[in-house]
Amino acid sequence: MNVYDGWRIAAMLEHRGMTRTENVSDADIIILNTCAVRAKATDKVFSALGRIRRAKKSSALMGIVGCVARESGADAFRRVPDLNFVLGPQSYHKLPEILENPDAKLLNIDLSGLEKFDSLPQMVKSPTVTYIPIQEGCNHCCTYCIVPYTRGREISRKFDDCIRDTIHAAKTGAIEICFLGQNVNGYKYTDENGHTYRLSDLIQAAAKIPEIMRIRFTSSYPTEMTDDLIEMFKTEPKLLPFLNMPIQSGAPDVLQRMNRPYDLDQYIGIINKLRNARSDIQISSDFIVGFPGETDSDFEQTVNIAKQIGYINSYCFKYSPRPHTAAALMPNQIPESIKSARLATLDATLNEIQRDFNESCIGKTLSCLYEGPDKTGRHLVYRTPYMQQCIVSRPDNDTMIPALAKIEITAANKASLRGKFVE
C-alpha cells in the first residue's frame, strides 16, 4: 500500500511539472512516506529527518506523509521544527496546498475515506505490475496492530471505480494487477440498486481485460476467504496460484490474545479447500514472535505450523509494542533477547522451506513476468507466479526480451532461481 501511495504522490508532483531527483541537496521538496507498523520503522523516519535537514537546501520543503504522520500528528512539528507538512495516509492528496503556501505548517491527519483516490491524477504510464487499491483500513483490530488507528475503519471503493482504474492500468502498460487492501478479501461494495460486489467479482471482471495476464491480491484475512473467492483459483487461470494469508502465530492462546478469532483446524480447513481448488497453490504468511505471554511451547507450535503448511515467501517479525494498541498494555512482555532468538529460529525454518520449494522448481517450466535487468546489466530478472526471482542471461538483442516468458528453471538457491527461455 505504501509503494502504491508513493507512486501516486510522485505522479501528482510530476503532473505539476516537477521531476524526481535522487539527490537530497538538489530537491525542492522532500517527502518521507512512512510506515508505523513497528517502532523501528518509526524511529528510522526521525533519524532520517535529522540527516536530511542538514543536507537539504534551506529553501527546500520537507515533510512526512503516511502512518507515522498520522501517529505523531502535531508532535512531529515539535520533534523536528523545520518540518513543513505532516499528512496522514488518507490526506496526502492535500500536498499541493504546501506548494501554494510554503510558509504554512500543513497538518492533516483526518481519515477522509476515499477522497484521495478520486482527487489524484491518473498515471500516464503504468508499471507492468500495477497495484489497484480496492479497500482501505481494517475492522479486525488485532491487539498488536496500529493500522486500524492509522488507516481507519474498513472502507471499500466502488466496483466501477476499481474496474475503471484496472482498465486504465491495462491500456497504459500493466500486464499484472495486484488488488490491494489491508483486508483485501473483506472487499464488499453495494451499489445504488442493492447489488453487492465482492473480490471474486473484481477478479472475474479484470480477467476479461485482454492485456491483463496475471491477477493477484494482498493481504487476506483467513476467515474472510469465502467459497466464491476460493472458487476463483479453480475457474480463473489468470489468477496466480499464490496467496498471502497471514496466520501470525500457531498457538491458540496467542491467537486469542491477538484477537484473531480462528482456530487452527479452521485455518487448515481453508488451506485444504484452496489446495483442492488449485493443487499447485502456494501460501505465504506473516508471523509475529515474542507476543506478550508467548511461551516456549507456544513458539514451538508456530514453528510446527510453518512446517506443516509449508509456507513459502514469508516474513517474521519481533513483536513491537505500538501506541493505541491493547497488546502494548498486556502483562508478560517478552524480553528482547528471547524475541531475537525466536526470530532467528523461525527465520531459519522459513528459509529452509523456501530453499526446498525453490529446488523443487528445477526442471519445471514457469510463466514469468519481466521485471528489469539485474545490477550488473548482464542478466534479466523475471518473477515467477510464486513471486520468486528468476535470473536469465540477457539476449544479444534487447528487442527479444519478452514481457511474459516461458522459462525453464535450471538452478535454485534460497534467494532466487536461474533459468533459460524455452521458446
Chain contacts with ligand SF4 (rule: CB under 6 A): 138, 140-142, 145, 147-148, 182-183, 221
Residue 267 contact among ligand SF4, ligand 5AD, none, beta carbon within 5 to 8 Å by kind: none
State the residues that interact with ligand 5AD by CB under 6 A: 37-38, 144-145, 246, 248, 286, 288, 317, 319-320, 322
> Least distance in Å: CB of 180 to ligand SF4?
12
Q: Compare residues 128 and 325 and give the one whose CB is closer to ligand SF4.
A: 325
- The cell numbers describing 151, all together, are 488507516
Q: Compare residues 138 and 390 and give the one whose CB is closer to ligand SF4.
A: 138
> Least distance in Å: CB of 138 to ligand SF4?
3
CB 133 within 8 A of CB 157: yes
Say how many CA atoms lie within 13 Å of 19 toward its Cβ: 3
Residue 233 contact among ligand 5AD, ligand SF4, none, beta carbon within 5 to 8 Å by kind: none
Q: Compare residues 221 and 233 and give the one whose CB is closer to ligand SF4.
A: 221
Residue 140 contact among ligand 5AD, ligand SF4, none, beta carbon within 5 to 8 Å by kind: ligand SF4
> Least distance in Å: CB of 65 to ligand 5AD?
19
Instruction: Give the ranges where 110-258 is alpha helix by DSSP (H).
Output: 115-119, 147-150, 159-171, 199-207, 227-235, 252-257
Q: Please tell me the total number of residues recorded for the chain in this structure.
A: 423
C-beta atoms surrounding 181 within 10 Å = 27
> Least distance in Å: CB of 286 to ligand SF4?
8
Q: Compare residues 114 and 341 and give the one whose CB is closer to ligand SF4.
A: 114
> Least distance in Å: CB of 76 to ligand SF4?
22
Question: DSSP per residue over 361-388, as a string?
Answer: TTT-EEEEEEEEE-TTSSEEEEE-TT--
Q: Compare residues 262 and 370 and give the one whose CB is closer to ligand SF4.
A: 262
> Least distance in Å: CB of 292 to ligand 5AD?
11
Q: What would the 3-class secondary structure string for 251-303 be?
A: CHHHHHHCCCCCCHHHHHHHHHHHHHHCCCCEEECEEEECCCCCCHHHHHHHH
> Least distance in Å: CB of 303 to ligand SF4?
20
Residue 183 contact among ligand 5AD, ligand SF4, none, beta carbon within 5 to 8 Å by kind: ligand SF4
Residue 383 contact among ligand 5AD, ligand SF4, none, beta carbon within 5 to 8 Å by kind: none
Residue 225 contact among ligand SF4, ligand 5AD, none, beta carbon within 5 to 8 Å by kind: none
3-state secondary structure at position 228: helix
Please give the Cα distance from 333 to 247 (Å, whole number): 21
- The cell numbers describing 131, all together, are 497495484
Q: Compare residues 159 and 291 and give the one whose CB is closer to ligand 5AD.
A: 291
3-state secondary structure at position 10: helix
Residue 317 contact among ligand SF4, ligand 5AD, none, beta carbon within 5 to 8 Å by kind: ligand 5AD
C-beta atoms surrounding 54 within 10 Å = 7
Q: Compare residues 324 and 420 and give the one whose CB is closer to ligand SF4.
A: 324
Please give the Cα distance from 176 to 419 (Å, whole number): 21
> Least distance in Å: CB of 297 to ligand 5AD?
21
Residue 214 contact among ligand SF4, ligand 5AD, none, beta carbon within 5 to 8 Å by kind: none
Question: DSSP per residue over 293-344, as a string?
Answer: T--HHHHHHHHHHHHHHT--S-EEEE----TT-SGGG-S-PPPHHHHHHHHH
Q: Compare residues 40 and 78 and give the one whose CB is closer to ligand 5AD.
A: 40
Please give the Cα distance from 221 to 258 (Å, whole number): 14
